[in-house]
Amino acid sequence: MLKKLIIIVAATMMLIAVPAASDEDNTVKIKANLAKLGLQVETVQASKMDNLFEAITDQGLFYTSADGSFLIQGKVYQITDDGINNLTEESLAKVRVDGMKTFSDSMIVFPAKDEKYQMTVFTDLTCGYCRKLHNQIDEFNDLGITVRYLAFPRGGLSSQSYTDIRSVWCSDDQQSAMTQAKGGAHVAQKVCALPVAEQYNFGRKIGVSGTPAIILNDGNMVPGYKTPDQMQQILQSYSVNKAG
């Protein structure tokens, strides 16, 4: 019995003596393993779920084991006495807020004269609902909603939709170019240094898969087309909840 006890104590001491992998070690392993899948990892942090790590990549948010040998794509929820929290959306919201700050100077903006709210819209020139939303710009503005556009050419960076939307961003009068292009007019080809491709890549990273995709100032995403009245109600609701 004593011999067994000595063996158990010795084994326990060996486990204690082995240092846990540091956050830096975990990050290195996760980046290396995800790179094998063509994923470029930007940040790694421990999630609220034990032994699960969040990896923000150029293609979205993934969850991994500490060494990156197991990969999960999907949403993680936390069940509490107060309800259910979408941890994935909470993490992505922070990334969206930071990204919107980065691209604030390169957005095409249609400001409301009496601004009460802002909505940032990932848009494409050929998207039917994007055109419908743009046709109602005056109605959004009249409700005090400023509309800020980011580029998201659905065909990708090798498509004509990218070439056209880049030309809109590079136009001398961006607002007029946007309105004309969404009305079906020919887009004169232009190239400039504005980060249009970077806007598209940012959209992919934060979960945009179609257009229009609407981002609120707190980072929450509202997918799909919404009427001006619907957006006013959504924005009012978020403002009340934030104040509360």
Catalytic residue among 127, 131, 148, 166: 127
Q: 């956050």: which residue's tokens?
A: 23
What is the Cα–Cα distance from 103 to 6, expressed in whole angstroms?
63
Catalytic residue among 130, 148, 164, 166: 130
154 is catalytic: yes
What is the Cα–Cα distance from 176 to 208, expressed in whole angstroms?
26
Catalytic residue among 124, 131, 148, 164: 124
- Residue environment code for 180-213, b if the CB has 16+ CB neighbours within 10 A, otherwise e: bbbeeeebeeeeeebbbeebbebbbbbbbeebbb
Catalytic residue among 96, 131, 148, 154: 154
124 is catalytic: yes
Sequence-distant (≥ 6) Cβ neighbours of residue 23 within 8 angstroms: 44, 46
Q: Give the tokens for residue 61.
A: 């948010």
What is the Cα–Cα distance from 212 to 224, expressed in whole angstroms?
5
* Residue 106 contacts residue 199 (beta carbons within 8 Å): yes
Which residues lie across from 45 on neighbouring strands? 54
130 is catalytic: yes
Q: Give the tokens for residue 19.
A: 């240092």
131 is catalytic: no
Q: How many residues does the chain have?
A: 244
* Residue 212 contacts residue 225 (beta carbons within 8 Å): yes
Could you give the residue numbers annotated as active site? 124, 127, 130, 154
